[in-house]
A and B are shown apart, each in its own frame.
Chain A
Amino acid sequence: MRIDIPRVAYTGTIKEITLGRNKNKITIGGESCYPFHLFEGTMPNPPKIAMEVYDSAPEDWPDSAMEPFADVVDDPVAWARKCIDVYGAEMIALQMASTDPNGKNIPADKAAAIAKKVSDEIEVPLIIWGCENVDKDTEVLRSICEICEGRDLIIGPVVEGNYRAIGATAIAYNHTVIASTPIDINLAKQLNILLGNLNVPDDKIIIDPSIGPIGYGLEYTYSVMERIRVAALTQEDERLQYPIILNLAKEVWKIKEVNVSETEAPLYGHKKSRGVLFEALTAQCMLMAGANILIMRHPEAIGLVKESIKDLMNS
């Protein structure tokens, strides 16, 4: 007896987006099937990992996360170079944490100078991530867009409250924007429509659905991503046919289960492995839900996820 394996009827594809410049361009998206359903369609561009770099030395990281970068945390350029030269990073995500008004609150011009320096010294595509304060990000990200003209940056998060200002500047200086919404598919679609109305080109938009790590709402992110892909690939929803990015490391490494000591919580097990595994497994779940870019921290977690991507692409 012949058995017909059921197949999903796809009607759409995810837009293919090329990031970066010169010889180091990277293309993401382009899939015509659900994540790794290679028996039903194609994924011409495997998901990528961007390694994160901070604009100043982090103060709240556990030792295990700090250890690989201890010699470079005070210098964002050296840090980025180490990620590329030692750990083989294909992309860098510069987290502008010190611009936060509730923290160091460094001014926009100073922040822009840091971003410019990093962008001058590395050749791989560069993501710039603001401090997630709507007004401060508007100021900082606009300055960075201007000063880094011609660098084809990926900037975000662009939210409902600042999409006009940042979107317009990004168009003017030819950068890609990250459209960020709080784990809600209707709002994700709406922001993409608004960016489209502003004339941000279709190949310059990436979706950030927002993330909660394992134990902190991962399943919400997962199901929103799943629904985004269903709408994009089977319901001809053009405004959702964009690649997806997740800024996951900074969420994972601040949770209690990663930071509590072994003496306080002996049952939690080895502290360093715990952090690495929380990061790798969060990333792995996001791959299965359709992530195109993962912003990650620990080289060992990255190693595990890279291996998994390779396996999945060859299955």
Chain B
Amino acid sequence: MVVCIAENINIMSKNIGPAIKERKQGPVQAMATALADNGVDCLDLNIGPARKGGEDLMDWLVKTVQEVIDLPLSLDTTNPGAVEAGLKAAKYGKPLINSVSLQPERLETGLSIAVRYKARIIGLLWGKDGMPRDANERAAMAVDFVYHANEAGIPTQEILIDPIVTPICGDVNQVLAALEFMGMIKEIMPEAKSIVGLSNVSNGVPNDLRPYLNRTYLMMLMKHGIYSAIVNGFDAELLKIARGERAKHIKLVHGVMEGEKPDPASLDQVELEYYKTTRVLMGEVLYSDSWLLA
């Protein structure tokens, strides 16, 4: 089963962003309740860079959400003060810091906050030179991150490594590298956990088509035992997949990953969609917006 963290409460979102900025509790609480009812395991609270007034905003947001739900929270901002404010206010389960990257100045501050509040952290594999180029660089950076975190006093099982998922409309090799890394992390550091920003894979894709890519890519990551994902908490089908409820479709996707070539004529509509999407995400068919029709 994949731990699901809802990405929806986000200051950049057209729906809920304005309510967060204007400190309107109603819409934020309604969304938090709806996400909890959908069965997500954790809520991400994204307030962006929040350079000014981030502390107050995060404090307000955490308290607002906690008035209606009792899920653990993920505190998503690059402002360390705001992260701390969120950690002080968070009272359910173990809060998650989203995220700490390998850039030296970020790493030190992030780790010290995590130690002080005994929080879990997302280790974002973004280093001095930006994004890793392949699975091996991801593995090396992951080892590096865990080493630094351990040194600071954070146990490996409190670390969620994020290998960075990139859009399918970009370089498919990067999509495959994140996948390949999932297969490696278990062997290198069995105690470390993993996480992805799942929706990134469909960034730039027409909105109505994004779920196909998100769901299929999740199934593919599940083959390598992914621990958690930040997801669209309103995609009910995706949440079912995360709970392992779609065994038949998961089996089909994993089969295609292993090189099985089912006869497309033998597949029903939904299976055909998964088959075509898996082929695109495996780099066997070049992505275009019409991939399901071709």
| A-side contacts of B293, CB under 8 Å | 193
Is the pair B286, A193 in contact by a Cβ cutoff of 8 Å?
A: no
* B30 CB-CB contact with A under 8 Å: no
Partner of A235, one of B286, B290, B294: B286
Is the pair B289, A190 in contact by a Cβ cutoff of 8 Å?
A: yes
Q: Which residues of A come within 8 Å of B, CB atoms?
A: 185-187, 189-190, 193-194, 197, 231, 235, 237, 239-240
Is the pair A190, B284 in contact by a Cβ cutoff of 8 Å?
A: no
Q: Which partner residue on chain B sits nearest A191 by CB separation? A: B288
Shortest B209–chain A CB gap in Å is 12
A235 to B284 CA separation, bound complex (whole angstroms): 7
| A-side contacts of B169, CB under 8 Å | 186
20 additional contacts, CB 8 Å, given A189-B287, A237-B285, A239-B288? A186-B169, A186-B286, A186-B287, A186-B288, A186-B289, A187-B288, A189-B288, A190-B288, A190-B289, A190-B290, A193-B288, A193-B293, A194-B290, A197-B290, A231-B286, A235-B284, A235-B285, A235-B286, A237-B286, A240-B286
Is the pair B284, A239 in contact by a Cβ cutoff of 8 Å?
A: no
How many inter-chain contacts with C-beta < 8 Å in the A-B complex? 28
Shortest B243–chain A CB gap in Å is 32
Q: Which partner residue on chain B sits nearest A240 by CB separation? A: B286
Could you jot down 22 A-B contacts, CB within 8 Å?
A: A186-B169, A186-B286, A186-B287, A186-B288, A186-B289, A187-B288, A189-B286, A189-B287, A190-B289, A190-B290, A193-B288, A193-B290, A193-B293, A193-B294, A231-B286, A235-B284, A235-B286, A237-B285, A237-B286, A239-B288, A239-B294, A240-B286
Q: Which of B272-294 contact A (CB under 8 A)?
A: 284-290, 293-294
| B-side contacts of A189, CB under 8 Å | 286-288
| B-side contacts of A185, CB under 8 Å | 286
Q: Which partner residue on chain A sits nearest B169 by CB separation? A: A186
Shortest A61–chain B CB gap in Å is 38
| B-side contacts of A237, CB under 8 Å | 285-286
| A-side contacts of B287, CB under 8 Å | 186, 189
A32 to B286 CA separation, bound complex (whole angstroms): 20
